[in-house]
Structure 1
């Protein structure tokens, strides 16, 4: 006589339901037990996979492994049309005078592939050419402070305090083919928004370097969204 391993109460109840549905019988009992065992195995595998994922994340954190905090889709989702950002500027202009200005960033439209932004300084509000939306492709970086043909190097995790508040960030170095060079503080839970940006002098364009010979720092002042 074939013996079956003891079943948990809930599993036995499930087997009985299956037996009734199948009309009973030796083959039906075997099928029902197989299905119940398979369900248990799948649940165990899912739990083990979740535990393995958590262990891997803990290991990376312990080893100091830094991961990119944003995804392509997360940036698109977070930067809704009507989002308005403001950064205060600190540094010196080309004449060595302190900069007293603010940079505004606004989301004016987007689709699955591209986003339309407007990016302007308080000092440029009266320049029509500046006050026009620009299009950029979506990516894993912010569409603001856009750098063409860029490469990103993750540096460290860091908490930073700016006028808009204190944010947990991943700090990265962004360099471009045409000499652009930024250090950015990517807010971990605000995809597409930098808490702080340091804009370094251009390393390849002499005119751009003459226009901005020293570092300029941008600190986030506010995040506004339309209801």
Structure 2
């Protein structure tokens, strides 16, 4: 394990959260007396090795300045993009211009709307990446039966779930490798749904660390109550 390794976190938070059905973006919805985004950021701030967090915001964001963490010395802001990968690339540019040691800098990308991640799993992810000198992500094995359907939503087959995992965040990669992979995908107009998919596109290695199934992403209105229940249960255990 290299003791010179440094970690920056990147949180793409430029989305408008249209699936929640309201005017307020999902990352700013109330969750246990805070917002979803504040809860996610506070989890990251618990990481001892953390150099800083770069939050990518929408150009029209009117909420961030009202947040309790707005003046936190480890939190920095950059402009988000139209796609998640654009926001992450903008944040990586900020990190490259800020860090004094690009070679040993790793970047941990975490969803703004994934507030239930545990510090234990984040630390285990860091330990795995540093020990193996490889990018890694948190993920959960698929537990349900997966059906494949046609355009009429008629089942045409059942998928083998034994090798399928649900990708979570954080996802941790070396700064230089992730930047290069995302730039390549942008130049080639390749679809990128998470950071691991960009690394995969360029033939990079991605390890999986089994995550807790309660590291949910707040996407639909009913997820807020579920997330609040999870957080309360985590505090009591």
Q: TM-score, normalised by structure 1?
A: 0.26
Larger of the two Rg values belongs to structure:
1
Higher relative contact order (CA 8 A, sep 6+): 2
Greater strand content:
1
Q: TM-score, normalised by structure 2?
A: 0.26
Greater helix content:
2
